[in-house]
């Protein structure tokens, strides 16, 4: 295996045999990696697999992780997932959103993360957590959640919400 950087031709798509030649892999290795990383490659209508430039770069990263760093395919998958998550967090959005929109998006993100924790079983729903929900429609009591599912409970809770009066005199 060579350590020098691999030059990828400047094309949009590559055949499987071309990817094997670029990455210096056997075709069976590439096929097994397709099973482990389902997002690799695109299937054409005629059934042939083609690879985008980003797929070839991903294959080269997988090859480095497996052969140079000694990771298993599962370890490589975790490492690549972590790289993609950290790359998404590092994107500069300062000039894209105004401060109010950024604050609202942060609030929504926190709410989604807490829902994910609740669904994964890490956190139990408490009355305090239900009371701190960001919108009246999202505030559910423990009794409401226990009754016939959250959709009906949410409909019942939003029906209880006081309606705003118009400013007309």
pLDDT, position 19:
93
Do the Cβ atoms of 130 and 150 come closer than 8 Å? no
Q: Which of 89, 108, 129 is the last residue of a domain?
A: 89
Q: Are residues 74 and 122 in the same domain?
A: no
Q: Render pLDDT for 6-27 as a digit per residue (tens, 0 to 9).
A: 888 888 889 999 999 999 999 9
C-alpha span between 36 and 72 (Å, rounded): 11
Angstrom distance (rounded) from CA 33 to CA 62 = 9
Model confidence at 2, in pLDDT bands (50, 70, 90)? very low
Cβ atoms of 51 and 14 within 8 Å: the answer is yes
Residue 17: which CATH number?
Answer: 1.10.1660.10
For residue 13, list its beta bridge partners: 52
Under a CB-based contact definition with an 8 Å cutoff, are residues 56 and 11 in contact?
no
Q: Positive or negative CA dihedral for 84, 124, 146, 127?
A: negative
73 and 54 share one domain: yes
Whether residues 69 and 17 share a domain: the answer is: yes
Q: Are residues 22 and 56 in the same domain?
A: yes
Task: Write the CB contacts of 158 (distance below 8 Å, at least 6 apart in sequence).
Answer: 136, 137
Residues 85 and 112 in one domain: no
Last residue in a domain, options 35, 62, 89: 89
Residue with tokens 């370890």: 75
Assign 153 a pLDDT band (cuts: 50, 70, 90): very low
What tens digit of pLDDT does each residue of 96-144 get? 667 788 788 888 989 988 888 888 775 555 555 555 655 555 555 544 5
Let me know if residue 55 belongs to a domain: yes
Answer yes or no: do 22 and 75 share one domain: yes
- The candidate with the shortest Cα–Cα distance to 3, out of 73, 64, 79, is 64
Q: 166 lies in a domain?
A: no
Distances from the Cα of 111 to the Cα of 28, 33, 77, 130, 146, angstroms = 44, 36, 27, 11, 20
- pLDDT attached to residue 17: 92
- The last residue of one of the domains, among 69, 89, 109, is 89
On whether residue 2 sits in a domain, the answer given is no
Same domain, 116 and 79: no
Q: Is residue 115 part of a domain?
A: yes
Better-predicted residue by pLDDT, 167 or 48: 48
Task: Please list the residues that pair with 52 across neighbouring strands.
Answer: 13
Residue 4 lies in a domain: no
User: Is there a single domain that holds both residue 31 and residue 80?
Assistant: yes
Give pLDDT tens digits for 33-83.
988 888 888 877 888 889 999 999 999 999 999 999 898 988 888 888 877
Residue 8 lies in a domain: no
Answer whether residue 5 is part of any domain: no
Give the total number of structural domains in the chain. Answer: 2
For residue 1, what pLDDT is reported?
47
Q: Which residue range(s) make up the domain with 148?
A: 99-160
């Amino acid at each position: 295996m060579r350590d020098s950087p691999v030059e990828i031709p400047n094309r949009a798509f590559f055949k499987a045999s071309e990817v094997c030649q670029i990455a210096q892999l056997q075709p069976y290795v590439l096929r097994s990696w397709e099973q482990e990383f389902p997002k690799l490659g695109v299937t054409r209508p005629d059934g042939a697999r083609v690879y985008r430039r980003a797929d070839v770069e991903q294959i080269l990263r997988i090859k480095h992780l497996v052969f140079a760093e000694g990771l298993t395919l599962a370890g490589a998958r975790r490492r690549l997932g972590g790289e993609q998550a950290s790359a998404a967090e590092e994107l500069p959005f300062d000039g894209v959103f105004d401060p109010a929109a950024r604050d609202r998006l942060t609030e929504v993100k926190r709410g989604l993360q807490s829902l994910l924790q609740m669904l994964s079983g890490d956190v139990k729903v408490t009355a305090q957590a239900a009371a701190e929900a960001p919108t009246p429609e999202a505030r559910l009591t423990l009794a409401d959640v226990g009754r016939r599912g959250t959709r009906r409970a949410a409909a019942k809770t939003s029906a209880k919400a006081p309606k705003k009066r118009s400013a007309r005199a």
